[in-house]
Structure 1
Amino acid sequence: MAILRHLPAIFAVCFTLATPAFADDPPSNALPGPGTAKRSTVTPQDTLTYTVGVEAVPLADPEGKKLADIVATTYAMDRVEATKRPITYVFNGGPGAASAWLNFGGLGPKRFVFGNQGSAPSDLPKFEDNPDTWLAFTDLVFVDPPGTGYSRAVGADAERNFYSVEGDVDALSRVIAKHLAAKGRLGSPVYLAGESYGGFRAPRIAQKLQSRDGVGVAGIVSISPVLDFGIRQDEDISPIPWMNGLPSLVATMRERAGPITRADLADAEAYATGSYFADLMKGPRDKAAVDRMSAEVARLTGLDPAFVRRLGGRVDIRSFSREIGRNEGKVGSLYDANVTAFDPDPSAARSDFDDPVLDGAQAPLTRAAVDFYGRELNWKIDRRYELINGDVNRKWRWGEGQGAPEAISSLKAVLALDPKVKVIVAHGATDLVTPYMESKMALDQIPAFGDPERVRLKIYPGGHMFYTREGSRAAFLKDVKALYGVSAEE
């Protein structure tokens, strides 16, 4: 499910789903009432006892007509004062992706392994305690927008009401405000965490909550986001997408020789933003510029110089993901290029292939979610669980006018108005879909607003879902704890 640079979707572009999204759903199938269970999980510091609950948060129009049921899955710690404890609302991306990725992959109290080298669609979702769960310092609410998970819009106006940048932000900010009031949590510090398109929507939701719904947000964690879609547009003429993508290609190749850090990519970043950018501006008719680019890109990446020269020094991510494993008949994931699978057509000049991470994780994650709600919470529903809904993504409206969607202006507005808000933008070094340099470019244009440390860019080993790697998830947890004002030992 790759991001195509010409399209503004993050987490759900190359869907293989061809059937209508709701073809096997009964026409009128109300969701059951709330389901709850008492559970515990063990971390290095403590045994956490908690209540997990699932319920539908209804949204209605001004006349009271129901528009949607939004499913929220909540983990709340026992033996603590809930009314003042931090609460974090979590979203995945797409648009069209459910929150199971973050719930069962990194943040929730139970997790299972997926998305790494050796993972397969036939893997059984074996849950284990998550030592890196955020539940130790914040209650968690995983929210599935309409058309994802078990959430559904009601009536014929679903697309108009929810399948758009603005409609999505309006709906999810209302869900948060309603949930806080209904649970008596208006005294709790509120945080937002989102992955991919969820990382894009988080700053916009924060601004909407702050300006319309009367809820100030204490912090934002954007995971593998695109903060400004304009940065990645027009790769046929713009050097910016190529400049931002190159360090992630270099990171992929260097990681094959051993562990890497951000410091190990300093030369690639310097070249990409310096000489490479200047030569890209000269264009393909400048033979000397193309020769220089081709030679240096081949040196930095270790790719065949003849291959790089054929591409004019501009290595696109699909060609790269196939070339790095060509000798073994394998392809790399666009979401973590060092996770590979066999190429279904290794001798073909061009090949369409399922992504080893995204498509490979779809079966076990869906299986885990259905089992979790049905068996763990006895919340059984006779409808499809939409882990990734291609229909939502295809129908998404990205706005009007000439400007590309962006979240930087919302982020600046939130930071400027509230000097206490803190932000982490986190990326995996080998993610080709949302390369970390895009966020660096966007964040570098934000004023300090009194303290430049309020907004931090963090890079970890791994790809789009870097938190599926043990070491990266632990390092991420340490940084997130600092955002929440929690010591690393707690």
Structure 2
Amino acid sequence: MMRFASIALAAALAVCASPLASAESQKHPEEQVVARGLPAEAVTSHIISLQGEQVAFTARAGAIRLRDAKSDAPQADVAYVSYERNGADAAARPVIFVFNGGPGAASAWLGLGALSPWRLRFPADAPSPSRAPVLADNAETWLAFADLVLIDPPGTGYSKLLSDSDDIEKRFFSVDGDAEALAVVMRKWLAARGRLLSPKYIVGESYGAFRAIKVLAPLRERENIGVEGLYLVSPALDFTWLQGGRNLLSYAGLLPSMTAVARGSNGRTELADAETYAAGDYVVDLLKGAKDGQALARMNQSVARFTLLDSHFVSRLGARIDAKSFSRERGRNKQRVSSAYDGGVEGYDPTPFAPVSDWSDPVLETWRTPLGAAMMRLTQEKLAWPIGEARYFILNERIARRWDFGHGGRENAEVVSDLRDALALDPRLRVFVVHGVADLVTPYFATKLMLDQLPAYGDADRVRLIVLKGGHMPYLHDESRAGMRDAARKLVEGQH
């Protein structure tokens, strides 16, 4: 009887819906796209207190539509949130464009974690997905010295594709297509706001730093936009240094961060011995190979001493310790695991007695929920953007799975060569690189070893490495968030 009633109801609904469906199918394709697209820009006015000064600013939440160059067919709406100080000289006021990484991560990580006028108030040492997303005024906002434009690439945040074409999705979800699309978005925003003369900077985190470097060429060559500075947070510069195994130097790049976690270090000052060993005797013994028993014995003893791991465990791995093995083994007796994103933060091991375990990262997976919720709350309550019931993709795993890194694949993707070319071409370009000392995903020392291979380009200080407390998202710690702001001010204001 229930089955029959369900079928009858479905048939009735189909009959009732058919005129609407017919009317929808008769709409012009552009009208259908408008119905699927994002709302018009919302503009709101706000005041924040910064070091005792009342700063008035305008917030804008909207989207930039990308179209096919030949057919003019709509392809995507790319969402942005901008914060612009009132009364500033538009030509002199710097503009900072902000991207996160993933691929598939939205800008709320950097926005509500570090840069924006509001941030998520959330204790770094007690993460929990169920904590309420409480927003607070951000005393460390970068609005103090620059206007901010936070951009969510297609498929992240509220941004969406407006075409069902697989070819369009494939293009946007690729290294080159992503960079070219975002270059257009930046140029369109600058033109619409009359900011083409403003000094321009790009901030990128993790893969967002990879993206920030990649976007320089299409900005320069296609959109006629030059950039004065890059601010790279926990950058993924060369994946051969991050994968392990193929590149022996990746173990050397990781060792100082593991040492920092083992010692509870908050910066580089206590890690000089680990850095010296990692770039010296460790590399020499690694190159001698697995057949050299004396080299193995030396490495086993030293790596166990620096990481505080059990010497038998270190020996079983041939003193080649990867981030996941370290994260589990250091707390195994307590049935706990460390975060790869911040080795100083621990969580419970869901299968503590299994020889191999998989777990949700205690930092990444506990922050994503309240950050996404906070961004939805910000959009509705402060930015007044009528987004309706749209979902905010703080992390879109589908993009990460489908991302096209090019012919060499993810394991061979790198932007060090792009950075090398950009620095050589533009002597005004400056680059600040910021890392958390306990980051096991993109270790600071691996970045240092890569940056050390760059020429001086007339002034070695054009590329600067800054190491702070914390991990992949150092801004989760109050002192590091302030340190990031101070470094960004120096970059923007040209201080040495």
Partner of 2:199: 189
Partner of 2:27: none
Which protein has the larger Cα radius of gyration, Structure 1 or Structure 2?
A: 2
**Higher mean displacement: 80-89 or 461-470:** 80-89
**Higher mean displacement: 32-41 or 128-137:** 32-41
Q: Secondary structure at the match of 1:475?
A: helix
**Separation in 2 of the partners of 1:61 and 1:260?**
49
Deviation readout 1:293-321 (Å, 9 max, x if unpaired): 11101111222212212222112211211
**Separation in 2 of the partners of 1:435 and 1:265?**
13
Checking the alignment, whether the CA contact within 8 Å between 2:252 and 2:446 is kept in structure 1 is no
Q: Does 1:230 align with 2:240?
A: yes
Q: Secondary structure at the match of 1:423?
A: strand
Q: CA deviation at 1:271?
A: 0.7
Q: Does 1:322 align with 2:325?
A: no
Q: Does 1:360 align with 2:366?
A: yes
Inter-CA distance 435–302: structure 2 relative to 1 (3 Å threshold) = same
**Of the candidates 153, 156, 161, which is equivalent to residue 148 of structure 1?**
156
**Separation in 1 of the partners of 2:240 and 2:313?**
29
Deviation readout 1:354-410 (Å, 9 max, x if unpaired): 101100011101111111112222322333211100111111111125892221222
Query: Where do 1:116-195 residues align within 5 Å?
Result: 116-155=124-163, 156=165, 157-195=167-205
Partner of 1:253: 262
Query: Where do 1:50-89 residues align within 5 Å?
Result: 50-62=57-69, 63-89=71-97
Q: Does 1:397 align with 2:404?
A: yes
Deviation readout 1:433-467 (Å, 9 max, x if unpaired): 00112211221121111111011011111100001
Deviating above 4 A after TM superposition, structure 1's stretches of 4 or more consecutive aligned residues are: none
Inter-CA distance 487–109: structure 2 relative to 1 (3 Å threshold) = farther
Checking the alignment, whether the CA contact within 8 Å between 1:32 and 1:381 is kept in structure 2 is no
**Separation in 2 of the partners of 1:409 and 1:90?**
22
**Of the candidates 251, 276, 280, which is equivalent to residue 282 of structure 2?**
276
**Separation in 1 of the partners of 2:383 and 2:97?**
20
Partner of 2:40: 33
**Separation in 1 of the partners of 2:408 and 2:211?**
19
Q: Given the two structures, how large is their TM-score scaled by the length of structure 1?
A: 0.90
Partner of 2:351: 345
Corresponding letter in the other structure for 2:317: L
Q: Secondary structure at the match of 2:347?
A: strand
Checking the alignment, whether the CA contact within 8 Å between 2:124 and 2:476 is kept in structure 1 is yes
Q: Give me the CA root mean square deviation.
A: 1.9
Checking the alignment, whether the CA contact within 8 Å between 1:92 and 1:194 is kept in structure 2 is yes
Corresponding letter in the other structure for 1:185: R
Q: CA deviation at 1:232?
A: 3.4
Partner of 2:224: 214
Q: CA deviation at 1:414?
A: 2.0
Q: How many residues align?
A: 459
Deviation readout 1:238-262 (Å, 9 max, x if unpaired): 311111111110011111xxx5331
Q: Given the two structures, how large is their TM-score scaled by the length of structure 2?
A: 0.89
Checking the alignment, whether the CA contact within 8 Å between 2:121 and 2:136 is kept in structure 1 is no
Q: CA deviation at 1:198?
A: 0.5
Checking the alignment, whether the CA contact within 8 Å between 1:227 and 1:406 is kept in structure 2 is yes
**Higher mean displacement: 79-88 or 58-67:** 79-88
Corresponding letter in the other structure for 2:474: F
**Separation in 1 of the partners of 2:92 and 2:246?**
52
Q: CA deviation at 1:119?
A: 1.7
Checking the alignment, whether the CA contact within 8 Å between 2:114 and 2:481 is kept in structure 1 is yes
Partner of 2:253: 244
**Separation in 2 of the partners of 1:376 and 1:150?**
16
* Runs of at least 5 residues in structure 1 that lack an aligned partner in the other structure: 1-25
**Separation in 1 of the partners of 2:307 and 2:50?**
39
Deviation readout 1:48-99 (Å, 9 max, x if unpaired): 2211111110111122111110001000111222343100000000000000
**Separation in 2 of the partners of 1:239 and 1:353?**
26
Q: CA deviation at 1:487?
A: 7.1
Checking the alignment, whether the CA contact within 8 Å between 1:137 and 1:486 is kept in structure 2 is no
Q: CA deviation at 1:486?
A: 6.7
**Higher mean displacement: 416-425 or 385-394:** 416-425
Corresponding letter in the other structure for 1:311: L
Checking the alignment, whether the CA contact within 8 Å between 1:31 and 1:381 is kept in structure 2 is no
**Separation in 2 of the partners of 1:161 and 1:237?**
29
Partner of 2:309: 303
**Separation in 2 of the partners of 1:451 and 1:331?**
43
Deviation readout 1:147-167 (Å, 9 max, x if unpaired): 000101221133222010000
Partner of 2:100: 92
Partner of 1:410: 418
Inter-CA distance 260–401: structure 2 relative to 1 (3 Å threshold) = closer
Q: As a proportion of its length, which structure holds more helix?
A: 2
**Separation in 1 of the partners of 2:312 and 2:210?**
38
**Separation in 2 of the partners of 1:353 and 1:214?**
46
**Of the candidates 215, 219, 234, which is equivalent to residue 205 of structure 1?**
215
